[in-house]
Structure formats: structure tokens, C-alpha cells
Amino acid sequence: DGGITQSPKYLFRKEGQNVTLSCEQNLNHDAMYWYRQDPGQGLRLIYYSQIVNDFQKGDIAEGYSVSREKKESFPLTVTSAQKNPTAFYLCASRLTFSGTTLYNEQFFGPGTRLTVL
């Protein structure tokens, strides 16, 4: 089955530590995204990547870093510089074009809940 996997589902981190969240997709999608969700709020874009080896900052990139070395993988590192990292993190992907058809839908993974102790 095609889809997006995120691991781990739950992650605990001590203050001052960096931690990396995994996101893998086997949908052959071009674009990948990372969002942060806080209780009672909508999703905020952290980083996105439209092609391999290229990525752009979203609205709240400070304290986060990403890489896109492979089409199917887009890991997110939460660094110690992120002052309030406890949140639910969602990865998404989108097939941008197929032939002349533009695709708008983003598909989401199950999420990783990060808690800083």
C-alpha cells in the first residue's frame, strides 16, 4: 500500500537535545512538507521541499532544520534552539504534476507527538 509513514509515533526529549523526526513516502510525490500543530490551533508550515536537494523555510522555521537527499524522505530535526518544541508534528506530500495535470491535494502522515521533558 502506498502512503506516508512517520516515526516514531511518540518521542520524548530532554531540554538541550536535538532530535530527528522521520518522514517517508512511497507515493512518488514530488513535494513534501512539515507542519506543527499545537492544541486548539491550525497547522503551521515549518519547511517544505518541491524537489530533491532543495527546500524552503515556512512560517516558523526557526529552531528546525531539514534535508531532502532522496525523493521519498524528508527528515525534520528539532534543535535545541527551538524554545517550545512540544507539539504534534505532521508530514505531508503532494504530487505536483503528472503530464499536464496539476495536483493540489496534500496527503498527510499519522504524525509524531514530541514532548520535551
Binding residues vs another protein (CB under 8 A): 4, 6, 33, 40-43, 45, 48, 58, 90, 92, 104-111
In whole angstroms, how close is the CB of 73 to another protein at the nearest point? 17
- Residue 60 or 80 with smaller CB distance to another protein: 60
In whole angstroms, how close is the CB of 96 to another protein at the nearest point? 9
- Residue 37 or 65 with smaller CB distance to another protein: 37
- Residue 69 or 105 with smaller CB distance to another protein: 105
Tracing cell 505536483 back to the chain, one arrives at 96
Burial pattern 73-108, b for ≥16 Cβ within 10 A else e, equals ebbbebeeebeebebebbbbbbbeeeeeeeeeebee
In whole angstroms, how close is the CB of 60 to another protein at the nearest point? 12
CA angle (92, 72, 47) in 5-degree steps: 45
SS3 67: coil
In whole angstroms, how close is the CB of 33 to another protein at the nearest point? 8
- Residue 41 or 84 with smaller CB distance to another protein: 41
Rounded alpha-carbon distances, angstroms, from residue 16 to 35, 81, 85, 112: 22, 8, 11, 19
